[in-house]
Amino acid sequence: MHSPIPTLMWQGDVDGQLVLLDQTQLPGALVFLECTNADEVWIAIQELQVRGAPAIGIAAAYGVCLGAQAALDTEIEAMQSRVLQVCDYLATSRPTAVNLFWALERMKQVAQRAGSSRPRQRASELLAEARAIHSEDAQMCAAIGQHGAELFSDLPKGSGILTHCNAGALATGGEGTALAVLFELARRGQQPKVWVDETRPLLQGARLTTWELMQREIDCTLICDNMAAQVMQAGAVQVVITGADRIAANGDSANKIGTYSLAVLAHAHGIPFYIAAPTSTFDPAIATGNEIPIEHRSGREIVQGFGKAIAPEDVPVYNPAFDVTPASLIAGIITERGVISQPTTERIANLL
């Protein structure tokens, strides 16, 4: 299997820059963005040039480092004030992915840490924290892949696994969440047959997941979202695995719109439905999925998908980016610490 192309990387020291793989250009072109300030990171997150809950958190952490550069030659109080301001600003880029807020909170804690009175030293500490967040995520992805592969070790070779949206290396600092499981199964010789939902409205399954799987030489077939039921009915799917952007304390999970539909279909066909996500995606402060904020995006993404009009311009559009799958439909949540089978508030709290 080919090595993945880095989704994001920091170049240089405290006065360096963040380089992002522009995911809006895939699969047609490999375009890298050089972000030199927090505004460019905010735009990259908002415009989905970088996306996926873990990758958003990592990018935001590096974005704080960029924002801190404006205070390198000031006093420590000015540096702390600047970092807190940048954190609050980056938190407005997208509302649903909890990793964004988790990473920014870690950066705030570093900014407010007692000790060094020199802004440049504090900037070094901030960069070290951002790099730690990045490294930890790569390790979490590897562990998720291992736990998932163990969970599905009894699946026959060539079993059908259906996934939705993109939960691979492009969405994280490592190999991904749901796709990390598939990559590990492939390394172990289980030859998974992957069914990939196109994933409306931005086709992240079609554009990104198929690209990643083909890069790794893993057998995959692209289907339209409304074909999933027929593929299941035909007996071609044995397991469904998706990622998540936020998981409530009781296990209700928010993921790209259409995930809830898949869970309902899987339940109707007796197919186990799994979520793969790091523990940083859990939000214990939210009791149930009813409290998860759902991002609503511009209707233009549907009416004029990728610049081509496919519906009347003045038609009203309802375009939520996420839906919430109830924990009752989830067979298990695969984390870097292990698998939570039939998730409940108590089981999740015990793992966390």
| pLDDT tens column, 208-217 | 999 999 999 9
pLDDT score recorded for residue 4: 66
Q: What is the per-residue pLDDT for 3?
A: 58
Class of domain 147-351: alpha beta
CA of 153: how far to CAs of 65, 148, 262, 340, in Å? 42, 8, 23, 17
**Domain parsing of the chain, residue ranges:** 8-139, 147-351
> pLDDT tens digits for 66-115?
999 999 999 999 999 999 999 999 999 999 889 999 999 999 999 998 77
| Helix (H), strand (E), coil (C) string for 144-206 | HHHHHHHHCCCCCCCCEEEECCCCEHHHCCCCECHHHHHHHHHHCCCCCEEEEECCCCCCHHH
Residue whose pair of structure tokens reads 């007996």 in the numeric block: 235
d(CA 321, CA 181): 24
Contacts (Cβ under 8 Å, ≥6 apart) of 350 = none
Whole-number Å distance between alpha carbons of 254 and 243: 9
pLDDT < 70 stretches in the chain: 1-4, 116
Report the largest interatomic distance among the alpha carbons of the chain, rounded to a whole angstrom: 66
Look at residue 6 in the predicted model and tell me its pLDDT: 87
Q: How many CB atoms lie within 10 A of CB 107?
A: 27
Catalytic residues, which ones? 245
Share in percent of the chain as helix, strand, coil (round to 5): 45, 15, 40
Return the SS3 of 75: coil
Specify the pLDDT at position 2. Answer: 55
Burial of 146 (0-12, 13-18, 19+ CB in 10 A): middle
Task: Find all residues with CB under 8 Å of 344, minimum gap 6, and list them.
Answer: 250, 251, 327
Give CATH for domain 8-139. Answer: 1.20.120.420
What does the pLDDT look like over 262-300, one tens digit per residue? 999 999 999 999 999 999 999 999 999 999 999 999 999
Asked if residue 71 lies in contact with residue 16, where contact means CB atoms within 8 angstroms, the answer is: no
Phi then psi dihedrals of residue 111, to 5 deg: -60, -35
- In 3D, which of 180, 351, 204 has the Cα closest to residue 282? 351
Pairing of strands 160-163, 193-197: parallel
Residue 348 — φ and ψ, nearest 5°?
A: -70, -45
DSSP string, 239-271: EEEE--SEEETTS-EEEETTHHHHHHHHHHTT-
For the entire predicted model, the pTM comes to 0.92
- Residues 344, 351: Cα–Cα separation, whole Å: 11
> Cα 23–24–30 angle (5° rounding)?
60
Amino acid identity of residue 341, one-letter, is: S
